[in-house]
Structure 1
Amino acid sequence: MSKEFEIVREFEVDVPPEKVWEAITTGTGGYLWPMDPPEPRAGGSGPFGSTVTAWDPPHRYTNRSEDVGFPTQSLNQLDYTIEPRDEGRRAWVRYVHSGIFTDDWNNQYDGASKHTNFYLHTLREYLTHFAPRPVTFAQLEGPAASRTQEALAAAAHALGLADDAAAGTKAAVQGPGGRTLDAVLDYRNPYFIGLRTDSALIRFFGRGHWGASLGISVHDFAPDADAEANESAWQAWLNQVFSQA
């Protein structure tokens, strides 16, 4: 049965509103994934076939799509409101994701809500530590064996993260090829893990909670970053983690 949904989040970040605006409208892949930037006007084309319904830089941006392309959703709208704080040195952001889920409403809403928290946290990490550095983006999915609720814990164990390692702690994690990565564990809950190194944001998505494979995205800000090399290395790491499952 079709039913409307609305996910609302508000946060502040220690960068000017213009920096937030650039991050959400350029589509570089700094915190989400690469996408076509919106046409800078109301009525213009937006990412993934959406239409820009509000365009007021650097204060308001909304896009809306009535042809989402997913069997469980028929309408999708993303709305950003950005206001200055502390004489423009900081920004307050209100994010609203709304639309219509057409099937499996509770599961769809739960997944979208929890992903929203992680994506917006990653946005703040990007704005605080990396923006506007150029980014090289890679993403990949684990094998079928990673479609379980225990998959993220298995990935954490392979990284060498202690069970009690909490967000904000430093960690020497075991990455692809046995290479040790000095990182900050910037996000951790039963659904997601976020790692921040001096040159990258590495995100782990425990989507087995919603019936999908574990995913990884790598936002690499090193000048010599290689997307194919990152994808290949982390894919091999994932396949190895779940090769015995």
Structure 2
Amino acid sequence: MNDRRLERSVELDASPEQVWEAIATGPGISTWFVPHSVEPREGGAVSADFGSGAGATGRVTAWEPGKRFAYGSAGPPEQGADYAFEFLVEGRDGGGTVLRFVQSGFTDEGWEQEYDGFDRGWDLFFGNLRTYLAHFAGQPVRNALVMTFTPGRPADVWPMLHAALRLDRHPAVGDEVTLAPDGPPAVTGVVDVASPEFLGVRSAHGLHRIGVEGEQGCGVSAYHYFYGEPVDAGALTTAWQEWLTRLFPAPESAPAGS
């Protein structure tokens, strides 16, 4: 571990109370990041569900209601990096809020790649937060989050995803599109994220993000946030996971002794 820090300052057109609810409670964090549970006290348990069986746990290390929330990994050092996350909420003169964020706990070996991956990820998630507060504030969320891994490269993976979603190219921000996978319900909306790693669509009822992260060997993810809608999140999760698994099947194990 080293003393390197990833820092963000995010300006939000929302009250400090709204921002605190979004960054320091389980239901709030789930609206823009991944499903969380948070015990609202110093020393309280924190858990996160990243989908497809991946998760993380930790403990609240600072709890100043309305102002400061921090938590860190609960695992022992020998299990890897113990990341620490801190959120500071500050009201702005004239309205709105500034959210300051710090992540620390990066490993010494390969920290540049590790840092860059988190940097891109937080860009996406804080963008989700801004969009949620602008278009869906106060609405509860139902999440459908899935992921898989493929040994391919992004240059090979994205064309496969485009074809499977019935897109003729990587759309640009502002394009109106319909994602039409074979199995899960179609998604129609406006592209609000278009980067080498992510494609995002804002529909009338939620946010939909497709991700390809990695260089030689990629994590492929589909994160869906449905706001105020009584959708069957379990059925949607299953449908999207089956779709991803069909598209990128796990490589067969080599026979014993080969």
* TM-score normalised by L of structure 2: 0.80
SS at match of 2:105: strand
Q: Is the 8 A contact 2:149 2:218 kept in 1?
A: no
C-alpha deviation, 1:208, in angstroms:
3.4
Structure 2: how far apart are the matches of 1:109 and 1:79?
16
Alpha carbons of 1:50 and 1:72: their partners in 2 closer, same or farther (altered >3 Å)? Answer: closer
Q: Is the 8 A contact 2:184 2:243 kept in 1?
A: no
Letter in 1 for 2:31: G
Q: Is the 8 A contact 1:18 1:58 kept in 2?
A: yes
Matched, 1:65 2:65: no
Percentage of identical aligned residues = 29
SS at match of 1:23: helix
Structure 2: how far apart are the matches of 1:140 and 1:216?
5
Q: Is the 8 A contact 2:36 2:46 kept in 1?
A: no
Aligned partner of 1:215 in structure 2 is 221
Matched, 1:186 2:192: yes
Aligned partner of 1:37 in structure 2 is 38
Aligned partner of 2:87 in structure 1 is 80
SS at match of 1:225: coil
Alpha carbons of 1:104 and 1:183: their partners in 2 closer, same or farther (altered >3 Å)? Answer: same
Alpha carbons of 1:177 and 1:51: their partners in 2 closer, same or farther (altered >3 Å)? Answer: closer
1:227 corresponds, among 206, 215, 233, to 233
Matched, 1:22 2:21: yes
Matched, 1:51 2:52: no
Letter in 1 for 2:36: M
Q: Is the 8 A contact 2:22 2:31 kept in 1?
A: yes
C-alpha deviation, 1:212, in angstroms:
4.0
Alpha carbons of 1:241 and 1:43: their partners in 2 closer, same or farther (altered >3 Å)? Answer: closer
Q: Is the 8 A contact 1:176 1:234 kept in 2?
A: no
Q: Is the 8 A contact 2:184 2:239 kept in 1?
A: no
Aligned residues: 239
SS at match of 1:217: strand
Structure 1: how far apart are the matches of 2:101 and 2:12?
13
Q: Is the 8 A contact 1:111 1:210 kept in 2?
A: no
Matched, 1:112 2:118: yes
Structure 2: how far apart are the matches of 1:167 and 1:11?
20
* TM-score normalised by L of structure 1: 0.84
Greater CA drift, 47-56 or 123-132: 47-56
Alpha carbons of 1:169 and 1:37: their partners in 2 closer, same or farther (altered >3 Å)? Answer: same
Structure 2: how far apart are the matches of 1:119 and 1:69?
27
Q: Which runs of 5+ in 2 are unaligned?
A: 48-55, 252-258
C-alpha deviation, 1:78, in angstroms:
0.8
Structure 2: how far apart are the matches of 1:211 and 1:4?
29
What's the RMSD between the two structures over aligned residues? 2.7
